[in-house]
Structure 1
Amino acid sequence: MSEILTPRLVLRQWQEDDLVPMSEINADPAVMRWTGDGSVLDLEQTADAMERWEEDWDEEGFGLFAVELLGSGELIGFTGLSVPHFLPEVMPAVAAEWRLGRQFWGQGYGSEAAQAVLEWALQDRGLDHVLGICRAEDAASANVMRKLGMTPERKTVHPVYGFPLDVHGIDLTEYAG
């Protein structure tokens, strides 16, 4: 797994001491509002999720990075790449993801981290197209996608939960960063 430095962030592999701060992020209803069915995750569920995220690195050659503040080392969430198996109509595909603690919203960290992931996807993983998928009402995520240069590709409905989804994409061969 690679480590990526941005001007303010470190994107790195998960560590054991990330469990508690990530579970606090996952326990915040405002953070989880647009994720899955909107349910929060407890410590055990976060541990299971982190284990799956580590397995993705082995299986896919990419996954979710822990994101920490460069200066303090504080974990602020995650960003990275995943395969959106939950949405068969877009497969085969790779999607960018991010989730930050609420106290870190509105400071450009999500865009900064996701932009670094797109550059990494192109340069280190050789991917030529990456999606961004969000609930239609999730204006903040849609804004990050626009900042990344992603454009709308389709509107659809979540196959399990039935809510509207917007699928954006970017051709990384034309990505300017």
Structure 2
Amino acid sequence: MSDPNFFFESERLRFSYWLPTDEHCEFLVKLWNEPLFIAGEGNTGIDTVEKARTRIVERFIPDHERNGYGQYLVSLKDSGKKIGGASLTLLKDSAISLPDVGFAILTEETGKGYGPEAGRAVIEWVMRERGVEGVFGFCSPKNARSRRTMEKAGLEFRGIHKLLQFGPDVNGCCYATPGLKDPAEYNVGISK
């Protein structure tokens, strides 16, 4: 699933596969080491081109092959400038039966509505093209930016819960696509 010609688009954005090229790997290192990203997601340890290449080859590509969706590089449709990433994550051994949506936009490009647009686009795409019933979104209760972005992307707030799939003591906000049943019915692994 590393077809360099694959893409889908929204009004202003283009979504493509992350490829194990130096250009993509350098951008992944830049994106995942921005203070805004680290504040929301934590330090991933992806701080060299080789570590980024390993992540793409060993995680991103297999996720696409297994699920038919995964991590996407986000670029501006008109200029081709790389501005972020969007993801639909369903881990190999996950008990959760629907993907978790995520998005990261370069700090210099925030405040322009790209995060919500990216979220809406990947959600609509995976439901239309892959027949997925819906998605979840998770974030820290303290991450007001992510919470607003999830809501602007069309997800409904389903409460703050212990998110057992992230660890025994992890409390987080749970969001879901409108129309999904109680998150516990999808094995989200929540407890109040």
Given the alignment, which residue of 13, 17, 21 partners 1:13?
17
2:163 is aligned with 1:134: no
* Shift in Å, 1:84: 5.4
Q: TM-score, normalised by structure 2?
A: 0.78
Distance 1:135 1:14 in 2: 26
Aligned-partner Cα distance in 2 for 1:168–1:107? 22
Count of paired positions: 170
Quick check: 1:10–1:70 contact (8 Å CA) kept in 2?
yes
Say yes or no: does 1:157 pair with 2:162.
Answer: yes
1:68 aligns with 2:68: no
**Structure 2 Cα separation of the partners of residues 59 and 102 of structure 1:** 31
1:8/1:70 contact within 8 Å kept = yes
Contact 1:130 1:172 (8 Å CA) reproduced: no
Distance across 2 between alignment mates of 1:45 and 1:139: 30
Match of 1:78 in 2: 85
Q: 1:129 to 1:48 in 2, by over 3 A?
A: same
Per-residue CA distance 1:104-143 (angstroms, 9 max, x = gap) = 1111111111111111111101111210111111111111
Alpha-carbon distance in structure 1 between the residues aligned to 2:172 and 2:128: 29
Is the Cα contact below 8 Å between 1:64 and 1:81 reproduced in 2?
yes
Q: Normalising by structure 1, what TM-score?
A: 0.84
SS of structure 1 residue aligned to 2:86: strand
| Matching residue's letter, 1:62 | Y
Residue 24 of structure 1, CA deviation: 0.9
Residues 32-76 of structure 1, C-alpha deviations (whole Å, 9 max, x = no match): 2121x4455302332232221111000111111110112221211
1:96 aligns with 2:66: no
Which runs of no fewer than 5 residues in structure 2 stay unpaired? Answer: 181-192
| SS of aligned partner of 2:146 | helix
Other structure's SS at 2:177 match = strand
